[in-house]
Chain A
Amino acid sequence: GNSVTQMEGPVTLSEEAFLTINCTYTATGYPSLFWYVQYPGEGLQLLLKATKADDKGSNKGFEATYRKETTSFHLEKGSVQVSDSAVYFCALKETSGSRLTFGEGTQLTVNP
């Protein structure tokens, strides 16, 4: 079946540091890939997405590129802020149906 694996967390960075959160997936066919973010006390919010190989999703300074050859969708940001502190979830959606399969999440803490 489909699965998503995220780097083991949590991740603690200083403000303005470079961020990478690794995500790899296993799926049949050509899934769409997503990053969701969950701020404390809030629901999950879509951060960015990519629907086909080599697509780059970007939003709020975050980027992720759909790499079919390595089955990866790593999240990056060049300079994190304290306000980026949250839990980040990588997810995939199969080409048929609309079920989202999530990774286990990565807690990011950014210190001033």
Chain B
Amino acid sequence: SQQGEEDPQALSIQEGENATMNCSYKTSINNLQWYRQNSGRGLVHLILIRSNEREKHSGRLRVTLDTSKKSSSLLITASRAADTASYFCATDRSGSARQLTFGSGTQLTVLP
């Protein structure tokens, strides 16, 4: 079953704009991860944020985590056409011994 629900399901922006995707989940977690999937390819790990962290940066990526609201957001700044992909959040649940549960994904299209 899917732990995370992502919002929006699809997002279309112009190159150079920022893209924000949101993820909500249901149970307690050890950490939350974001992955990117290009069409016809496997998932690529982007960033991991632990349950005791509130914000994390990696290059043009900024992730926030609000455990009280059971939600996370992924911000991609200064987007590029190459950022076009599906983005998934995945939760590593407390006590689940390393099982990742994925959300439904956001399809991001960056128009040149």
A and B part of one assembly = no
